[in-house]
Amino acid sequence: MNDQVSTIGQAAGYGYAISQEQRHKVLRNTYWLLALSLVPTVLGAWLGVATGVTRSLSGGLGLIVFLGGAFGFMFAIEKTKNSAAGVPVLLAFTFFMGLMLSRLIAMVLGFKNGPSLVMTAFGGTAGVFFVMASLATVIKKDLSGMAKWLFWGAVVLMIGGIINVFVGSTTGFAVMSMMAIGIFSAYMLYDIKQVIDGGETNYISATLAIYLDLFNIFQSLLALLGIFGGERD
């Protein structure tokens, strides 16, 4: 009875009145759009590395461009998520994020083992996604209580990152990168579980949330690999 409203979430105390078929559809569309969003991300990163267009975006200027662009795009995505413009705006955002990531990728590629470090970070991120997605399907407990703690963890990371832009501490950057991997791995579990339980019914919003988790994990892994595993010629 796929068209009947599922009572599983309500029985567990989640309070979500959405059919199982709808939940599966949102999850399926989310995964498809998430896979598609990686294409403009790679294109943006490649363009940034090839042209060096982001090379001058360091320190405060880079921070302003990144935060202004990212929050501007996220605001636009929220406004268009229920319209035909939602997907193109999301894909434009992922291109921008790839462009912003290109400076770190270019730095890591400057190491003798740079390409292998990038592939290791990609594989590690894919592994985290596989584990979190698998856990989300087997965990029956409602994880909505995690939201507050994860939010404040992300706020602390953002503030610490802003401070470290001006301090320039490699140790501080490494510590925050390790914290980011833990926080955004947990965020990924929470975000995927929200879709599975019916707490998130818009696949564009769901894709945005999981994409940001993946982006932050990849960026943090790549930074750590560059700091501790980079081999100079």
Task: Kindly report, residue by residue over 33-60, the tens digit of the pLDDT.
Answer: 999 999 999 999 999 999 988 877 776 7
* pLDDT > 90: percent of the chain: 60
Q: How high is the pLDDT of residue 5?
A: 36
Contact of 213 with 188, CB cutoff 8 Å: yes
Q: How high is the pLDDT of residue 59?
A: 64
Confidence of residue 20 (pLDDT cuts 50, 70, 90): confident
Closest by CA to 129, choosing from 199, 216, 45, 25, is 216
- Tell me the pTM: 0.87
Q: How high is the pLDDT of residue 233?
A: 66
* Separation between Cα atoms, residue 169 and residue 158, nearest integer Å: 15
- For residues 4 and 66, the model is more confident at 66
Structure tokens at 66: 């990144």
Contact of 192 with 138, CB cutoff 8 Å: no
Q: In this structure, how many other beta carbons lie within 10 angstroms of the beta carbon of residue 28?
A: 12
Q: How high is the pLDDT of residue 17?
A: 56
Q: What is the tens place of the pLDDT at every residue in 89-131?
A: 999 999 999 999 999 999 999 999 999 999 999 999 999 999 9
In whole numbers, what is the pLDDT of the chain averaged over residues? 87
pLDDT above 60: residue 2: no
